[in-house]
A and B are shown apart, each in its own frame.
Chain A
Amino acid sequence: MIRHRTAIAIGTAAFIVLAGTGVGNAFWSTQASMSGTANAGTIGVATAGFPALSINYTATALAVSAPVTVTNSGTVWAPFSLTLGVTAATPLANGSVVKTWPVAAATACTPTTIAPPSATTSSWVDVPALTGTLEPGASATYCVRSSITALQQSTIAGTNLSAALSVTSSVGNWIASATSSAAQAVLDSTSPSTPGAPVASATTATGTSLAWTASTDNVAVTGYDLYRDGVRLVTVAGTAFTDSGLTAATTYRYTIVARDAAGNVSAVSTGTNVVTSSAPVLFDPALWYSVGVGGSVGTASGVCIESGPNPVNGDVLTVATCGGSTKSGWKVVAVGGYYTVVSRRAPTLVWDITGASLAENAPAQLSSSTGATSQQWQVTQTSPGIYQFVNRNSGKCLAAPTSGALRQQTCGSASALPFIMTPVS
């Protein structure tokens, strides 16, 4: 019995101890922590200086040098590849020489800087790529020199190139790029050869046709300036021109100057004198004429141009039924290659366009004769006895509308009818 109690006591004690160690058997633990922020950078690249390679090559400017800078404008280091080229392979692009070399600073790249032996040499069509790696904010500078020879300045004159710079920087899928451009040209400083002397043909009282031998040029002749009596008359692309509006029986001197696209001009050609023929005798200066307004061509309408009974300066020209009155008597007098039309009632008055107007429908009037070109008419015989009057000043035809004063209209318009000239006693 006693032994049993002892055993129970031992067991109870062991149970209590072991039960108490149940919690103690769990592992101790602790923690520490750390925190931070991961930041993604950015990629970026920029370039400067390339436009300074733009140049117009001349005999005295055969080369250009400029520092070209590449800058890492991002926040992570990155490699870059800089390529120089042209948008099209022109004679200048193929013929020019391009040298590149790295420099420590832009100031180390001047027109007089001597390119080191390590400089790359190429034309604009095959410039080797320039590569490197830049830390954020860092830059790489290259000196770029483009040049041509004096001979090329003549042989490839007039050509040009569009130079293009492209720089790319990439890390993984991050890509940045920048571009720039420069324009170069070889100016043409060579003048065209002297053109041949103009040769006149088909000369009339009021015009002549001129032709001359073409000039040659290292690039191309773009036109010829035609001078009449020392005054530039016109510029034409070809080697012929018909001059008009001349005065009969007058001597004109023509010379030619060739020009090219660069503005170079040739020496003045040998001059040629042209004498216009005398004006044709269309009307007898001793006779007075009635001027009938044509209906249909060649058919009299029964109305004639008439002045007032006592015409004065400024009277408008009107029409009235043809009646043989001296009011409808006119004398046509040759003046050079043109004519003036004199009033029978007042011989000091001649046909004129009011105010020497160039406008359509400007009225015709009687004016005191002054010799002004607005008082001169080119008279063209369209058929026997039928004439058209073209005002020398405006180039418009005398027209007789169905009512109102005579006026000038564009030749060929409905009212610009021919006139029937009939001698009157």
Chain B
Amino acid sequence: MNAETTSAPRSRPSVLRRMLSAAGAIAVATFLALLGTGTSYALWNGEAVVDASRVSSGNVGLTINGAAAYSLTSLDAKKLAPGRSQVAPLAIANTGTTRLSVTVSGTEVLAQSNSLASFVTASLVAAADCAVATFVPAPLGGFTTTAAPVVLEPGETRQFCLAISLATAAPSSVQGGSATFAMTINAVQVR
């Protein structure tokens, strides 16, 4: 009598055990992968269904003297003369929950008269006292930050000084002229 050798059918408990084992492996891998993505987890996970009590999304915010769009009315009070500057103290605040790197990304001359803008320079430096700040003037049109960006911690407010100057060589023809400008401050998240 030959005994027929047949494969014994797999028992049901064994298959289930293997499936659970695979699922566990996937879960571990997913956990490890998310662990490595750090803060981006929040953004990515913003639409995920997670426990809000433990994981919340961050935010970014930036203000100048308390406003997202600040009007430099103090410049209107005094008039520029060759070699002279008007200085405005600015409090730039990181109102978000993320570290921000702050720079001036661009300046646009919106309107002018007497060709004044060609002889106006701007300088923005971080300084607590504008009276002793060292300015590095550059042409107003297209003015951007050339120095290393300033990093603001979440909730931090830093004092800056903006100097608007008229070149010493400004001709007499620019007398009485004006130049309206808009300066954009850009803040980028840093880790």
Contact = CB atoms under 8 A, between A and B. Distances in A.
Given A10-B25, A29-B60, A35 B80 contact: no
Q: How large is the interface on B (under 10, 10 to 19, 20 to 34, 35 or more residues)?
A: 35 or more
Interface stretch (B1-9, B27-35, B125-133): B27-35
A41 B181 contact: no
Contact of A23 (B44, B67, B180): B44
B63 A32 contact: yes
B166 interface: yes
A117 interface: no
A24 interface: yes
A5 B73 CA distance: 69
A147 B2 CA distance: 156
A24 B48 CA distance: 13
A25 B25 contact: no
B26, B72, B90: which has the most chain A beta carbons within 10 Å? B26
A133 interface: no
Contacts of B43: 23-24, 28
A21 B32 CA distance: 13
Given A9-B25, A36-B181, A40-B178, A2 B18 contact: yes
A61 interface: no
Interface in B125-178: 140, 162, 164, 166, 168-172, 174-178
A43 interface: yes
A5, A10, A136: which has the most chain B beta carbons within 10 Å? A10
B73 A36 contact: yes
Nearest to B34: A17
A179 B120 CA distance: 32
A175 to B, nearest CB: 7
B72 A172 contact: no
A30 B98 CA distance: 11
B22 A33 contact: no
A234 interface: no
Interface in B45-81: 58, 60-64, 67-76, 78-81
A40 B62 contact: no
A42 B74 CA distance: 19
A246 B164 CA distance: 94
Contact of A9 (B26, B32, B75, B78): B26
B16 interface: no
A112 interface: no
A29 B90 CA distance: 20
B19 to A, nearest CB: 10
A35 B75 CA distance: 10
A10, A11, A12, A40: which has the most chain B beta carbons within 10 Å? A40
Nearest to A16: B30
A18 B36 CA distance: 9
A29 B186 contact: yes
B79 A35 contact: no
Nearest to A44: B175
A32 B22 contact: no
B92 A32 contact: yes
B179 interface: yes
Interface in A144-199: 171-175
Interface in A64-81: 75-78
Contacts of B162: 34
B187 A31 contact: yes
B37 A21 contact: yes
Nearest to B116: A40
B90 to A, nearest CB: 7
Interface string A31-63: 111111111111100000000000000000000
A6 interface: yes
Contacts of B180: 35-38
B71 A40 contact: no
B50 to A, nearest CB: 13
A116 interface: no
Contacts of A76: 79-81, 84
B75 A38 contact: yes
B104 to A, nearest CB: 10
13 contacts: A5-B22, A14-B30, A17-B33, A27-B189, A29-B60, A34-B90, A36-B75, A37-B180, A38-B117, A38-B180, A39-B80, A41-B78, A42-B176
Interface of A: 2, 5-6, 9-14, 16-18, 20-21, 23-25, 27-43, 75-78, 136, 171-175
Given A6-B22, A29-B60, 12 more contacts: A13-B27, A21-B44, A23-B43, A23-B44, A24-B42, A32-B68, A33-B185, A35-B70, A35-B180, A36-B74, A39-B76, A76-B81
Interface of B: 18, 21-22, 25-30, 32-34, 37, 39-44, 58, 60-64, 67-76, 78-84, 86, 88, 90, 92, 96, 98, 100, 105, 110, 114, 116-117, 120, 140, 162, 164, 166, 168-172, 174-190
